[in-house]
Amino acid sequence: MAATMSLLACGESSPPRSPTGDDGWGPTLRGESFAAPEPTPPPAPRARPIPEEKRQPWAHAARKLTALELRGASEHDDDRYERTLSVSPEQVERYRQLTQGTVMPAGTIILQRHHEPGQEAVAVRYAMVKKEGPPDAWQFVVLDDALRVAADAQLTLCVRCHQEAPFNGLFGLPARD
C-alpha cells in the first residue's frame, strides 16, 4: 500500500488495471488504494429438499389451525418475505400473549406462511410442532403446496435460531408496521 501511495505521490501513473480490477495492487478508486474487504462467511447450508416423488403427506396436514390476523416482516430468508401465522386453535390466546414463562404444550402446531411483499400467494411454508421435553423442543419441517414434507432433515439453522428465541423457542407475533 505504501508503494502505491508513493508512486501516486510522485506523479507516476499507477500500473494499468486489468479488466477485472485485480492487478495485484488491490481495489482502487480515483488513485487511492484501499484494503480488500474482509471475506464474508459462506451462506448457511440449506436443508436438502426431498425429491417430489419421495415426499410424504405431513402428519398434521388435516389439523385445523387458526389464522392470526397480523401480517408482518419475516426474519427468514434475508427478510425477503412477509409472514402470516396459523396456530393450534386451543393455543391462540396463549400465543398472542407470549412471555418468557410461556410454555406451549406438546402437540402445539405453528404454521408460518411466507409471501412476497404485498402478495397473497404463499412462497414458502414452515411448520413447527412442539415435542415432549424441554420448553424449547420443537420439530421443524418445510412444506410444499400440497402440505407434503419438502424438507425435515438437517434443519439445524431452524433449531439454532429458535433456541435463541425469547419465548421458549418462539418469536411471537409479527411486528406491526
pLDDT score recorded for residue 74: 85
* Beta carbons of 105 and 89 less than 8 angstroms apart: no
**Mean pLDDT value of segment 146-157:** 90
Write the pLDDT tens digit of every residue in 76-98: 777 789 999 999 999 999 999 99
Q: How far is it, in rounded angstroms, from Cα 81 to Cα 27?
A: 34
The distance from CA 173 to its chain's CA centroid, rounded to whole angstroms, is 16
Query: 7 pLDDT exceeds 60?
Result: no
What 89-98 contacts at long range (C-beta under 8 Å, 24+ apart), as own/partner pairs, is: 89/64, 89/65, 92/66, 92/68, 95/68, 95/170, 95/172, 95/173, 96/68, 96/173, 98/167, 98/170, 98/172
In DSSP terms, 125 is beta-bridged to 113, 143
Write the pLDDT tens digit of every residue in 8-60: 333 344 444 444 444 444 444 455 554 555 665 544 446 789 999 999 999 99
Instruction: Enumerate the domain spans of the chain.
Output: 2-33, 56-163
**Three cell numbers, residue 143:** 412444506
**Three cell numbers, residue 83:** 409472514
